[in-house]
Amino acid sequence: MRILTVFGTRPEVIKLAPVIQAANERGLEVNVCVSGQHRDMLDQMLADFGITPDYDLDVMQENQSPLEVAARILEQLAPVIATTRPDWLLVQGDTTTAFAAAWVSFHQRTAVAHVEAGLRTQDKFRPFPEEMNRRLTGVLSDIHFAPTERARENLLKEGVPAERVFLTGNTVVDALLSILRRAVVFSDSRLAGLAGRVLLVTAHRRESFGPPLQEICRAVRELVQTHPDITVVFPVHLNPSVRKTVFDLLDGQPRTVLTDPLSYPEFVHLMKRAELILSDSGGVQEEAPSIGTPVLVLREVTERPEAVESGWAQLVGTSREAIVTSARQWLARRRGDGLPVGPNPFGDGRASQRIVDVLLASSRERAWTIGR
């Protein structure tokens, strides 16, 4: 059984690393092809998880558009599939790399397995372009690894046959549990000796560029000015549009640490250390219940309502006033007061093993799928 996995961004490495490890341990042959959609943040995560790619399409350009990324992958991936001749092409989530790779794979008549399948907001433009990326990847996929029961139901409602959908949990929990076992050394000395309460912030969604991201930054500025016991840590995404807004509005503010993207162990440690997280990240919404720190979700809609239902996430949108009001309420509680109890909706840390079980049992399914 031979797998070709194709990915290109930070969150894909985090969520596929445990699957690659489980597949290798169970004797599957795994070829890794990175698109290089993210150059720096990808390499940082590959180093964190000790993954050496077999192929690197190296497509990133400064301030690229998703269509440019897709075009370069469409052009360059076919020969890799032709050379490796995988039984399955394995992709994760909703990035342009995942969608483009699934489309190339279809043209090469290679079966596609989709990890973290079935997430939906039902709003075509939120998040943009991820909602369409994941729907289109789903249409091109032959087996679907749904992280939650709701994701499984979304796929069934769209007519995906039940025998092609597997409820696995989210592999981010597997990654998180493995990283929590590691000791952490902060590369930025400002993070090594943080005193007092920490507010951890991330923001990078394309639909928030411009006024919504400015509102988020103004909210952070107001919170730090009105809470003298708080330090803000904001690892700033490398997208130039994000960096310009964040540095314009927050650089030089008191008790505000703007850093480059952090290694996964550093970031996980900070999530645990933080009293509250403000984020528009998909992965952080899944990690909050796993790690036990509440997150205010800086978006109008979420494809991860399970995080909200668990009590660990609150959808606050991007208006300055709404963010400040909700954050104040959380910060006024004594640490630990009124925190949710209950199981983690995103899994038990064994998602990757379940995925590999399915792949190992899949040869008959694959032959049927691709009409060979």
Question: Which residues are near ligand UDP by CB under 6 A?
Answer: 10-11, 14, 202, 204, 235, 261-262, 264, 267, 281-284, 287
Identify whether 206 is a catalytic site residue. yes
Give the shortest CB-133-to-ligand UD1 separation in angstroms. 6
63 burial (CB, 10 Å; 0-12 / 13-18 / 19+) is exposed
The DSSP symbol for 65 reads: -
Residues whose CB is less than 8 angstroms from the CB of residue 229 and which lie 6 or more positions away in sequence, other chains included:
196, 197
**Residue 204 is a binding residue for ligand UD1 (CB under 6 A):** yes
Site for ligand UD1 in 229-268 (CB under 6 A): 238-240
Among 129, 138, 347, 349, binds ligand UD1 (CB under 6 A): 129
Q: Which two tokens stand for residue 335?
A: 């640490």
Among 150, 206, 272, 273, binds ligand UD1 (CB under 6 A): 206
Give the shortest CB-13-to-ligand UD1 separation in angstroms. 10
164 binds, among ligand UD1, ligand UDP, none (CB under 5 to 8 A by kind): none
Catalytic pick from 12, 48, 87, 94? 94
- Region of 6-14, 153-161, 297-305, 336-344 interacting with ligand UD1 (CB under 6 A): 6-14
Measured between alpha carbons, how far is 201 from 233 in angstroms, rounded to an integer? 6
Measured between alpha carbons, how far is 120 from 127 in angstroms, rounded to an integer? 10
To 5 degrees, how large is the angle CA 178–CA 183–CA 186? 120
Element (H, E) at 278: strand 276-279
**Residue 130 is a binding residue for ligand UD1 (CB under 6 A):** yes
Give the shortest CB-243-to-ligand UDP separation in angstroms. 13
Element (H, E) at 4: strand 2-7
**Residue 96 is a binding residue for ligand UD1 (CB under 6 A):** yes
To 5 degrees, how large is the angle CA 335–CA 197–CA 293? 50
Give the shortest CB-206-to-ligand UD1 separation in angstroms. 6
Give the shortest CB-164-to-ligand UD1 separation in angstroms. 24
User: With respect to ligand UDP, which residue has the nearer C-beta, 38 or 227?
Assistant: 38
Tell which phi-psi region holds residue 203, choosing left (phi > 0), alpha (psi between -120 and 50) or beta. beta
Q: What 3-state class would DSSP assign to 197? A: strand
With tokens 């290109």, the residue in question is: 8
Active site (catalytic) residues = 94, 116, 130, 204, 206, 237
The residues of the shown chain that bind ligand UD1, judged by CB under 6 A, are: 9-11, 37-42, 60-64, 66, 69, 94-96, 129-130, 204, 206, 238-240
